[in-house]
Structure 1
Amino acid sequence: MTSTREPDERLTGAGPLALAALAEITPAETVGAAAGHEVHEDGTVSLRFAASMPGYPGWFWTVSVAAVDGADPTVLEAELLPGDDALVAPEWVPWSQRLEEYKAAQAAARAAGEDMDDAEGASPDGDEGEDGSDDDAEDDDEASFLHAGDVDGVDIDELDAGAEGESPDGAEDDSE
């Protein structure tokens, strides 16, 4: 979006205005020296300042300014943008493409005769640990399993079994 048109001297000289705009969004010590400008086709100018924040090498504070005939320059926007040497996150890849790549890798492994789980050291049933034993700490627990009715230590199932001879109103059934 750059052009070879001559920049408006009022805009390229609007460094103090750009620094004032940056002072509203970031501490002054995070703004470094002027790092040039870019003239856009619509006549706006983006002024760049080096970012002097730890963790942001290669980034630039960019302030876009414009001026209407007969008016003073004004700030359009201020932002932190990566330069060519900036550390940025990799481009996002949609889940569907990542899944396709995973399925292709699985198919290639099957074609090569490998089982992906076996290649990673897991057993086919998935129960063996790193040492190859099928012994889990939970398997050693001999205590009976509790359900919601057992929280107070009373087994509801035992009470129900003893109550089979009782009538619904709680009296014992003498019909036997």
Structure 2
Amino acid sequence: MAAQQIARPGEVGEHLGYEGEGDRVVTHYFACLDRAYRGWRWAVTVARASRARHVTVSETVLLPGAEALMPPAWVPWSERLRPGDLGVGDLLPTSADDDRLAPGFSSDDDTDHQMFFEYGLGRARVLSPLGRDQAVRRWHSGESGPHSPLAHAAPAQCSTCGFYWPLAGALRMGFGVCANEYAPDDGKVVAADHGCGAHSEAAVMPPTLEQPPPILDDLGYDLMEADDEATDLTGSVEEDVSEPFGHS
């Protein structure tokens, strides 16, 4: 049999049926007994030429069945990339039809129009409305948005912080850059309603008062009870001192 000629011994099972492919062309299916290809089946396509008595084998192949274990669909490398995968020296080309970008002359950003007016130059492509909306949703729902644990524990929003630098253009009202070197988001884009414990108005420290020097009372004295040895010593000293005056 044709399937047994290309398969190893014992890997071709029972006949599962056949299917007509066209005029005098039929494909027969046989079970595959190889444990590595469970759910697959051997397909042998045979054909008979016009007025011929015998059929000839056109193709023999192993095909997946309904319960076959299949590999995942192939995904281009550019679509497999994730944030943080790009390393030093890596290049990530952007396709000409990327929906996130639009021609520079179509931008509605005031800063871009100002640049065109002053220099006659501009970026070839800028963020499209779709690209801008995707960035807004990504930033607002991420760790620098209002729903992170850091923001929930903050005393106030970033929009009221002195270290908050608003972005220019259409995103000015919703996002800015943190400029506090002690904040966890220093140098990063944060949402206006984000927050952290390094808020400029988080706590007003009371002014430090200079501590006065300690006051020592060298004119007063404290009464203390003397023990027996101290009394005897004092008494003997007084007798020795007073004795010359007693004889005089």
- When normalised by structure 1's length, the TM-score is 0.47
- When normalised by structure 2's length, the TM-score is 0.34
Return the structure number with greater relative CO, CA threshold 8 A, min gap 6.
Answer: 1
